[in-house]
């Protein structure tokens, strides 16, 4: 069941035609979609279990249009849901019945490639891979590489602070972002950062990153690009237990090595993947690790030897080292196809996204298996092992009425992550999916402070409401200050 | 001025509540090494965080450390060193530049100033390594954000807002940071005799190449002469420095490659570990501009390719002492004492829309009359003000330190 969304505003729904007409004066012709069949393409995102037809879809192609649309919606109390590639796995771009979907797909141009300053300026609808494609002829790439990179937009990446298998070494979206242009709900256009490093005012770009479309609409993005490493080689390591694989990850890091990527898969995931892509993964191991080292060949060869020795010490029962680029890609082919592979063996699956302190992995996997038995559902795990980001895939059949059970299992898994010192989401965002679990991590005061930041950007709460926050407080209410006065509550704080 | 030194989070909360109750502005301090950075402001009491100190969490295998905000950075660095780890953003020690002691700053101050050293170009700034915190807002409320894990998008990333807010939003009580393995070996390739523009070109070439340079700085001859590294001071020419870090085999290889690549720019020299460490510390801490102490100091962040041009524009009109870090993207610059408005109009005109210039050091009267932080366009200034109010509606935390009314 999708969580309850804010009650639709009747007066807005009644004015639908009038609103469409007004928006057509800003974005003429086909840029405003009213037709039901065409709107249906936008009714859900990567979290396909939840659907909602939007009132209207608007496809602007210039920042002035975005500004005028938002200003109009602000003045007329109309909710807006920004949307990029629509691949969110947390329902971040799930429409609202009385809201417009602001689809940024027409912002699809690479504006400037600046090799000398090692950055690229793009419109937010450019795909993640599109950036690397634009610079790869010169030996450069854009480092964050979510598995959805052919489809997700850079604007969506910023909104979700997307990560990828290489972010242990090269950082998340937040660490690779230099500048943003965004439009506030009032229509004001704000530029943050540029081609230089760091803000000398508040780091508003930092807080925009991962704000899930609730603070502003991103209309331009400047990212830094990196020189492609001269070589990359990978080890494919099999272990008799998740413990020994986990130990190996810890030992690699303790040896001072930060691999380009370090990914783990448990037995169910290995089997699903091997059946699908025939990557040559061993089927008699409990846990599989891919460790990738990149850099100059001399360095990579040395580190491969060191990781190999560590793996043997940690009890690896299977060990292969890529000797060719083709072989390295085969190692990855399985991991990269993990989601579709699991999709093949089950009618439906939910992808969870908790992060845990890595040392707790064996315990978490054991308890997760017990939870799976309790709910009578299968779970396959893929894991960004280096940084503790866990993706349990819960297998279920919606037609057999298993969705609710799968959701409950998912919630229990995330509570478990929080209990061991981790968090609800490492890269997919809270969205609607994890909204009602926010209370397991944050108390009322924590959440109120976050919402006050929202109020500073969007006081009428019109931008993507119903996401992230379990309860919507009005900004006026949040702003009230209760000063308990008078006497010194702690008369003995050291004073000088 | 009464100074409160809370020794626990509840005491800190009480101290802020007390100030809130009688609506008196507070100055927030760690060791006070950066006390003279920012606009002067009126405060009727101080909260000093040195009592909130100590490392509470350190798991080297998980690359994470937690500590009280008042913990001495030197204690943190010492603990990390024992495990061959470090704060990869290479926090500078600006104490001497700002007229206070060296080695005295706290981790809270480093984060509140979002400081970063030469490795910024590769590893990011304090903001990029700041995972989570507990703090007391100007509303007199204790709140937290983030966590102890590296990947976390649960709720807004308020850590980013705290980093670089100079104590104007909330008082940090404890912080969690990402730590990383320290490089096994460091070497520096020096190219001598380049002017600023050529140096920027050389640094860009190095950054674009495959050598994974972790520091790229340029000293004009007059500053190079003051270095404690004889290769640099004795060069008799401007010195451009490129740092390579990693495993010994890799460093040796990359240095050789870099040397080949740089040969086209000028004569090349190599520094080994000890001299490298010394030079990069001098650059990190802007030691070249510490003396003479009465010269105002600017810290200018621009696109790397703009660094040389900004310097030229300023130096045409004013006698400037300067050097570049971050491959040209960071310019440290001092101007003669008594320069009207500390050169603000000139400096900011030179920077234009390409970045920002912060008046890091100047006498109090100048810091009161000249915008210390880069002036913001109206919509951004208004948003900044609203963000401030969302944490500190009464304006009691370091009010006015960054901007009037913030
Ligand atoms: C198969 C698959 C694999 C995935 N793998 C990964 C992975 O490895 N790592 C990872 O981090 N994520 C992954 N994801 C999740 C998803 O791809 C990312 O969250 C991505 O960043 C979403 O981008 P999008 O353009 O599709 O955004 P959308 O889904 O359209 O929107 C996501 C959020 O961003 C907001 N938004 C979009 N554009 C803008 C804008 N211009 N301005 C303001 N707000 C905006 C929306 O309102 C929404 O809240 C995966 C998804 C799938 C389906």
| Per-residue model confidence as pLDDT tens digits over B131-141 | 999 999 999 99
- Cα separation of A45 and A51, whole Å? 8
A159 CA → ligand 1 middle, Å = 7
- What does the pLDDT profile of chain A (496 residues) look like in tens digits? 667 899 999 999 999 999 999 999 999 989 999 999 999 999 999 998 899 999 999 999 999 999 999 999 999 999 999 999 999 999 999 999 999 999 999 999 999 999 999 999 999 999 999 999 999 999 999 999 999 999 999 999 999 999 998 999 999 999 999 999 999 999 999 999 999 999 999 999 999 999 999 999 999 999 999 999 999 999 999 999 999 999 999 999 999 999 999 999 999 999 999 999 999 999 999 999 999 999 999 999 999 999 999 999 999 999 999 999 999 999 999 998 999 999 999 999 999 999 999 889 889 999 999 999 999 999 999 999 999 999 999 999 999 999 999 999 999 999 999 999 999 999 999 999 999 999 999 999 999 999 999 999 999 999 999 999 998 889 999 988 876 654 555 567 777 6
The domain limits of chain B are 1-182+376-406, 185-284, 287-369
Whole-number pLDDT of residue A494? 77
Whole-number pLDDT of residue A114? 98
Whole-number pLDDT of residue A359? 87
Q: What is the DSSP string of A158-227?
A: HHHT---TTHHHH--GGGGEEEEEEE-TTS-EEEEE-SSS--SS--HHHHHTT-TTSS-EEEEEEEE-EE
Q: List domains and CATH numbers for chain A.
A: 10-103 (3.30.43.10), 110-227 (3.30.465.10), 231-340 (3.30.70.2190), 346-436 (3.30.70.2740), 437-473 (no CATH)
Q: Which atom of ligand 1 approaches the CA of A212 most closely?
A: 49
**What is the token pair recorded at A170?**
């090269």
Q: Is the distance from CB of A225 to CB of A142 less than 8 angstroms?
A: yes
Q: What is the DSSP string of B345-403?
A: HHHHHHHTTSEEEEEEE--HHHHHHS-SSPP--HHHHHHHHHHHHHH-TT--BSTTSSS
Distance from CA of A389 to the nearest CA of B (A): 7
* Residue B333 three-state SS: strand
Distance between first and last Cα of chain A: 58
Q: Is the distance from CB of B42 to CB of B25 less than 8 angstroms?
A: yes
A200 CA → ligand 1 middle, Å = 29
Whole-number pLDDT of residue A36? 95
CATH of B287-369, one of 3.10.20.90, 3.40.50.620, 3.40.50.300, 3.30.70.240: 3.30.70.240
What's the order of all strands across the beta sheet hosting A32-33?
A32-33, A56-58, A99-103, A79-83
Contact B21 A483 (CB under 8 A): yes
Q: Is the distance from CB of B251 to CB of A304 less than 8 angstroms?
A: no
Domain covering B185-284, topology: Alpha-Beta Plaits (3.30.70)
- Bridge partner list, A293: A233
B320 CA → ligand 1 middle, Å = 47
Query: Does the structure show a pLDDT above 60 at B319?
Result: yes
Q: Which atom of ligand 1 approaches the CA of A153 most closely?
A: 25
Q: Write out residues with Cβ below 6 Å of ligand 1.
A: A 45-46, 81-89, 92-93, 104, 124, 146-148, 152-153, 155-157, 159-160, 162-164, 212-213, 217-218, 339, 427-428, 464
- Cα separation of B158 and A447, whole Å? 11
Q: What number of H helices and E strands is found in chain A? A: 18, 18
DSSP A174: G
Distance between first and last Cα of chain B: 22
**What is the token pair recorded at B376?**
């913001």
DSSP A324: S
Whether pTM exceeds 0.95: yes
Length of chain B: 406
- Across chain B, what does the average pLDDT equal? 97
- Cα separation of A373 and A352, whole Å? 17
- Measuring CA to CA, how many Å separate A427 from each of A96, A158, A223, A357, A430? 23, 11, 18, 15, 9
**What is the token pair recorded at A323?**
């000797």
User: Which tens digits make up the pLDDT trace of B251-272?
Assistant: 999 999 999 999 999 999 999 9
Q: What is the DSSP string of A55-77?
A: SEEE---SHHHHHHHHHHHHHTT
Q: Do domains B185-284 and B287-369 have the same CATH topology?
A: yes
* Residue A167 three-state SS: helix
What is the phi/psi pair of residue B189, to 5°?
Answer: -100, 125
**What is the token pair recorded at A406?**
């799968």
Instruction: State the complex-level ipTM.
Output: 0.97
Nearest CA to ligand 1 atom 3: A148
Region B1-182+376-406: CATH code: 3.30.465.10
Q: What number of H helices and E strands is found in chain B? A: 14, 18
Quote the percentage of chain B above a pLDDT of 70. 100
Q: Is the distance from CB of A165 to CB of A429 less than 8 angstroms?
A: no
Helix (H) or strand (E) holding B277: helix B273-284
């Amino acid at each position: 069941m999708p969580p309850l969304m804010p009650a639709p505003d009747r007066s807005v729904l009644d004015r639908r035609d009038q609103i469409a007409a007004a928006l057509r004066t800003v974005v003429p012709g086909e840029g405003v979609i009213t037709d039901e069949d065409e709107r249906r393409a936008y009714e859900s995102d990567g979290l396909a279990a939840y659907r909602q037809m939007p009132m209207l879809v608007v496809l602007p192609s210039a920042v002035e249009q975005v500004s005028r649309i938002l200003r109009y919606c602000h003045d007329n109390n109309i909710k807006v849901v920004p949307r990029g590639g629509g691949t969110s796995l947390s329902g971040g771009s799930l429409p609202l019945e009385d809201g417009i979907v602001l689809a940024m797909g027409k912002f699809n141009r690479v504006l400037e490639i600046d090799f000398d300053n090692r950055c690229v300026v793009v419109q937010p609808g450019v795909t993640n891979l599109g950036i690397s494609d634009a610079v790869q002829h010169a030996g450069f790439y854009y480092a964050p590489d979510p598995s959805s990179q052919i489809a997700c937009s850079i604007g969506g990446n910023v909104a979700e602070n997307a990560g990828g298998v290489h972010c242990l070494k090269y950082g998340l979206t937040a660490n690779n972002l230099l500048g943003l242009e965004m439009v506030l709900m009032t229509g004001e256009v704000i530029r943050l950062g540029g081609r230089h490093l760091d803000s000398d005012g508040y780091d508003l770009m930092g807080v925009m990153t991962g704000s899930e479309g609730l603070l502003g609409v991103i209309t331009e993005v400047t990212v830094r690009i990196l020189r492609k490493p001269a070589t990359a080689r990978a080890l494919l390591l099999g272990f008799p237990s998740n413990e020994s694989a986990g130990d190996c990850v810890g030992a690699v890091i303790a040896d001072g090595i930060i691999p380009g990527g370090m990914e783990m898969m448990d037995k169910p995931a290995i089997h699903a993947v091997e059946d699908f892509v025939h990557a040559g993964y061993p089927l008699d191991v409990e846990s599989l690790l891919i460790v990738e080292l990149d850099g100059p060949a001399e360095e990579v060869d040395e580190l491969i030897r060191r990781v190999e020795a560590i793996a043997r010490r940690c009890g690896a029962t299977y060990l292969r080292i890529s000797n060719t680029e083709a072989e390295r890609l085969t190692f990855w082919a399985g991991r990269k196809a993990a989601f579709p592979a699991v999709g093949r063996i089950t009618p439906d699956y939910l992808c969870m996204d908790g992060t845990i302190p890595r040392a707790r992995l064996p315990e978490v996997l054991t308890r997760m298996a017990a939870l799976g038995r309790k709910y009578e559902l299968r779970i396959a795990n893929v894991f960004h092992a280096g940084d503790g980001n866990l993706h349990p895939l819960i297998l279920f059949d919606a037609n057999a009425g298993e969705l609710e059970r799968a959701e409950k299992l998912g919630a229990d898994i995330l509570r478990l992550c929080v209990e061991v010192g981790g968090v609800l989401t490492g890269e997919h965002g809270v969205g609607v999916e994890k909204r009602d679990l926010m209370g397991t991590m944050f108390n009322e005061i924590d959440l109120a402070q976050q919402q006050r930041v929202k109020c500073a950007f969007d006081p009428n709460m019109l931008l993507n409401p119903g996401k992230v926050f379990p309860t919507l407080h009005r900004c006026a209410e949040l702003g009230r200050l209760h000063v308990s006065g008078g006497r010194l509550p702690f008369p003995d704080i050291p004073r000088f | 001025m009464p100074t409160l030194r809370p020794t626990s989070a509840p005491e800190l909360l009480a101290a802020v509540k007390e100030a809130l109750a009688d609506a008196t502005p507070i100055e927030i301090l760690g060791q006070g090494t950066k006390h003279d950075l920012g606009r002067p402001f009126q405060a009727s009491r101080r909260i000093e965080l040195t009592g909130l100190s100590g490392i509470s969490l350190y798991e080297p295998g998980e690359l994470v450390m937690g500590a009280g905000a008042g913990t001495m950075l030197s204690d943190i660095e010492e603990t990390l060193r024992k495990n061959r780890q470090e704060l990869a953003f290479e926090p500078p020690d600006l104490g001497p530049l700002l007229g206070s002691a060296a080695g005295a700053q706290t981790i809270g101050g480093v984060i509140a100033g979002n400081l970063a050293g030469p490795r910024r170009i590769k590893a990011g700034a304090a903001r990029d390594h700041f995972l989570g915190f507990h703090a007391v807002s100007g509303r007199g409320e204790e709140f937290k954000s983030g966590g102890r894990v590296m990947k976390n998008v649960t709720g807004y990333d308020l850590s980013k807002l705290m980093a670089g807010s100079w104590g104007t939003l909330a008082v940090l009580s404890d912080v969690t940071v990402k730590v990383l393995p320290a490089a096994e070996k460091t070497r520096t390739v020096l190219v001598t005799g380049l002017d600023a523009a050529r140096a920027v070109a050389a640094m860009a070439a190095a950054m674009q190449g495959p050598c994974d340079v972790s520091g790229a700085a340029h000293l004009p001859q007059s500053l190079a002469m003051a270095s404690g590294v004889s290769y640099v001071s004795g060069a008799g020419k401007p010195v451009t420095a490129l740092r390579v870090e990693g495993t010994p085999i890799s460093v040796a290889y990359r240095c050789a490659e870099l040397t080949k690549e740089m040969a086209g720019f000028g004569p090349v020299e190599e520094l080994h570990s000890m001299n490298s460490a010394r030079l990069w510390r001098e650059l990190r801490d802007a030691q070249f501009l510490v003396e003479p102490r009465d010269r105002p100091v600017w810290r200018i962040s621009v696109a790397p390719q703009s660094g040389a041009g900004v310097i030229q524009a300023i130096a045409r009109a004013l006698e400037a002492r300067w050097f570049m870090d971050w491959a040209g993207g960071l310019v440290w610059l001092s101007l003669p004492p008594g320069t009207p408005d500390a050169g603000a109009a000139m400096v900011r005109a030179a920077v234009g829309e390409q970045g920002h210039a912060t008046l890091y050091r100047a006498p109090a009267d100048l810091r009161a009359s000249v915008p210390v932080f880069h002036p913001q366009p109206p919509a951004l200034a208004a948003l900044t003000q609203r963000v401030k109010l969302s944490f500190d509606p009464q304006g009691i935390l370091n009010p006015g330190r960054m901007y009037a009314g913030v």
